[in-house]
Amino acid sequence: TQAVYASGKIYPLNDYKVFSKLPGYIEKIHVHVGDSVKIGQALITIKSEVSELNVNTAKNILDLAQKNANENSAYTTALEQDVASAKVKYNLDSANYYRYAILMKNDATSRVQLDQSKTQFEISKQNFLKASNSYLNAKDKIRVELENARIQYEAQISNRNDYTITSAVNGKVYDIVPKEGELVNTQMTLMEVGDSKRFEVELSVDETDIA
């Protein structure tokens, strides 16, 4: 008969340590050591001013994007006015070029004046096309910015919800490390939770005893 000595600990099955995804202050501890918990049950609520600021900033950006996307917004109105002004100039220079072309046929004007009117017409045409394309590109940009702002706002809301940490298993609370009001970070263990009825033993045995 040989005696083999070992040291170790007893752990509940499905044992896991609870961490926070984001730093903050412990606002509320919803359970006590020894309490039975179910999946999804709230364990700890963490409050962070940074998270609230991020949510508010994302909301302001979303509001601005929605304002710019409005058909009657100052931004879109200014772009529409630029297109309208370029179109008026284009139509005017087009009419002048047409008039000088008729005068040239009747030898009532010079080639220089015709060429000048043609050059001005081409410039106005390009400016009108440029203003129109800028307006269309701006509309697409506004649409994309609005969608991105909405996604970012929803992401910040989701991050804020992460501050209420819930149980991942049906089991029991075995340890609570921090107290309410304490500052915690993502590296700190907040709780230990595991199965309430099934356990396992982890033993450390000296290698000389293994044989």
Alpha-carbon span 190 to 175, nearest angstrom: 8
**Model confidence over 143-187: pLDDT tens digits?**
899 999 999 988 888 766 657 899 999 999 999 999 998 999 889
**Model confidence over 18-55: pLDDT tens digits?**
998 878 889 899 999 999 999 999 999 988 777 777 88
Helix, strand or coil for residue 28? strand
**Residue 170, pLDDT score:** 93
Closest Cα partner for 190 from 210, 164, 170?
Answer: 164
Alpha-carbon span 88 to 5, nearest angstrom: 97
**Residue 2, pLDDT score:** 79
Contact 55, 155 (CB under 8 A): no
**Residue 137, pLDDT score:** 92
Show the 3-state SS of 142-191: HHHHHHHHHHHHHHHHHHHHCCEEECCCCEEEEEECCCCCCEECCCCCCE
Distance of CA 102 to the CA centre of its chain: 61
Q: Lowest mean pLDDT of 49-53, 91-95, 134-138, 171-175, name the range.
A: 49-53
Q: How confident is the model at residue 4 (pLDDT cuts 50, 70, 90)?
A: confident
Q: How confident is the model at residue 123 (pLDDT cuts 50, 70, 90)?
A: very high
**Residue 162, pLDDT score:** 59
**Residue 173, pLDDT score:** 96
Contact 183, 177 (CB under 8 A): no
- Going 195 to 199 to 200 to 201, the CA torsion angle's sign is positive
Percent of the chain with pLDDT over 70: 98
The number of helices, as runs of H, and strands, as runs of E, in the chain is 4, 10
